[in-house]
Amino acid sequence: MGSEPMYNRDFSAPAIAHEGRKRILSVDDDLTVLYIRYKLLANAGYAVLSATDAAQALQLFAEHPIDLVLLDYALPEMDGGMLADAMKTHRPDIPILMVSGVAVPEKVLSIVNGYVRKGDGADHLMTSVGKILKSRALQK
């Protein structure tokens, strides 16, 4: 194994081919967080698309059917609140779960479908993902 970390690669592309799975768009500027989240979600049977910035997230959001967005609040060029607002403007039916290590303003929490602190652990994240996807399936 070389000196490159194994997560420094495009680990979202294979998920595009997984028909029939719920598709989750994971947005975070930290590659380690994205990779861990990718492995966790993929192992649970979800197809995962990953984006490291707002532009890439918006492109994937526009080009692919998405069932849920996991969105970091502290992004470098556009905070998660602005990105969530842009996503909800174009596709208001897609739920967004804010996943952040920093405090998220109440105004932002009012436009997303849930909030999980990064320190809450994998079980809490997966429970929240399951609840939101189940709620969305019941609404259809």
**In the structure, what pLDDT confidence band is assigned to residue 18 with cuts at 50, 70 and 90?**
low
Over 50: is that where the pLDDT of 108 sits?
Answer: yes
At 12 the pLDDT is 52
Residue % of the chain over a pLDDT of 70:
84
Give the domain ranges of the chain. 21-139
Residue % of the chain over a pLDDT of 90:
74
Fold for the domain defined by 21-139: Rossmann fold (3.40.50)
Tell me the DSSP string of the chain: --SS-TTSS--SGGGGG-TTS-EEEEE-S-HHHHHHHHHHHHHTT-EEEEESSHHHHHHHHHHS--SEEEE-S--SSS-HHHHHHHHHHH-TTS-EEEEESS---HHHHTTSSEEEEGGG-HHHHHHHHHHHHHHHHHH-
At 119 the pLDDT is 87
At 17 the pLDDT is 52
Provide the whole-model pTM: 0.86
**In the structure, what pLDDT confidence band is assigned to residue 140 with cuts at 50, 70 and 90?**
low
At 36 the pLDDT is 93
